[in-house]
Amino acid sequence: MLYPHLAVKDPDIHRIILSELDRRRRGIDMIPSENVTSVAVLDALGSILTDKYSEGYPGKRYYGGNEFIDQIEELARERAKALFGVTHANVQPYSGSPANQAVYMALCNPGDTVLGLSLAFGGHLTHGLKVNFSGVYYHATNYVTGADGRLDYDAIQKQAEELRPKMIVCGATAYPRQIDFQRMAAIAQSVDAFLLADISHIAGLVVGGVHPSPVGHADVVTTTTHKTLRGPRGAMILCNGLPSTPLKSVERTRENIPTLVDRAVFPGLQGGPHNHQTAAIAVALKEAAAPEFKIYAKQIVSNAQTLADALIQKGYSLVTGGTDTHLILMDVTTRGLTGIEAEVALGKAGITVNKNSVPNDPRKPFDPSGIRFGTPALTSRGMKEPEALEIAEYMDAALCHHTDDSFLSDIQRKVTMLALKFKPYPELDAAL
């Protein structure tokens, strides 16, 4: 039996977890911010480490009994530094938004001007949305993509010169093309602004060598650990500079960024780190350093491009006309659908995507014109180009018959047959 202790203590939760596992086994998850972790990561995440309090940093804790926790956090930090080529890594942020919040706190004062990609054009909540902390406590301004859906670096340069922001944020959650970090750094330097690169979506692609790295260009790099990096839910802050002295106050200079970041995470924003999460991050970083991870990252992009090309041939309109990364943004209104209708129809067919705004979307965010989908999870399951082509056929069939529940049920059966050939957690099957 899988999770036998939980089955006895709380059969309701046990039943729901098994139902979720069955949903994943029988369907194809294509939300680009989701992935399939290894069972080793799950083992660390569900370990006894969750019981320990460890406020502070290795060697400088406010609680006793942390000698082994220190070893785990040091291992995670060293692996992160080696993997990304930086001199400092903070692995304590609970998730991506707190990591970005810590960088804001480290480098800016409330009310300072910050320039980031608009959420409506592919950015993130923490890049300056007015109702987010980044828009409430800071003077948030946004740049947008050009008419072709791509970043217009000349326009960003002009905007930066007019606004003179304290910090520029680059990175995206719904942008299918590579980001020119070197150009963004040049823009930031020209107006004496800090540059934050949020690579939460593409960290695994960076590690895998299929997307340029922001290291050496951006002043600070943040990333979640649960998307293309294929780890647990969590985040890291990466940077270069003088060795961190988190118990001391320092001037807000580039060489002091390690200390500024550490002080912002703790005691600035967080209490004790989640040690089980830190251990699971360490496991994922070790996995990402293995040679086969580069093969995986390359396959993610190949699968996405194969899928994109197949959909274009079927007449679908993709933002920017394709993808360089793991995700695809598709305007479904050209096929007489809304984003909600497309998401629901594909869901009934066993394919999970999410509705999403497209650049210059005339529709509201909760009922947008597009859908966003990608290939990290299906690639983790072992699917390759032939399966990507098969998925394109199923997507097209479902969208063309989105009001026919009987037809969608038939597509779902075919999707399930495909999905069961590539189970997300085959190691768990023996315990089911």
**Which residues participate in catalysis according to the annotation?**
53, 55, 198, 224, 227, 233
Beta bridge partners of 327: 374
What's the gap between Cα 430 and its chain centre? 31
Of 129, 46, 57, nearest in space to 89 by CA? 57
d(CA 418, CA 422): 7
What is the Cα–Cα distance from 407 to 42, expressed in whole angstroms? 37
SS3 per residue for the chain: CCCHHHHHHCHHHHHHHHHHHHHHHHCEECCCCCCCCCHHHHHHHCCHHHHCCCCEECCEECCCCCHHHHHHHHHHHHHHHHHHCCCEEECCCCCHHHHHHHHHHHHCCCCCEEEEECHHHCCCHHHCCCCCHHHHCCEEEEECECCCCCECHHHHHHHHHHHCCCEEEECCCCCCCCCCHHHHHHHHHHCCCEEEEECCCCHHHHHCCCCCCCECCECEEEEECCCCCCCCCCEEEEECCCCCCCCCCCCCCHHHHHHHHHHHHHHHHCCCCCHHHHHHHHHHHHHHCCHHHHHHHHHHHHHHHHHHHHHHHCCCEEHHHCCCCCEEEEECHHHCCCHHHHHHHHHHCCEECEEECCCCCCCCCCCCCEEEEECHHHHHCCCCHHHHHHHHHHHHHHHHCCCCHHHHHHHHHHHHHHHCCCCCCHHHHHHC
Q: Which of 211, 149, 140 is nearest to 181 (CA)?
A: 211
Q: What's the CA gap between 283 and 232, in Å, rounded?
A: 9
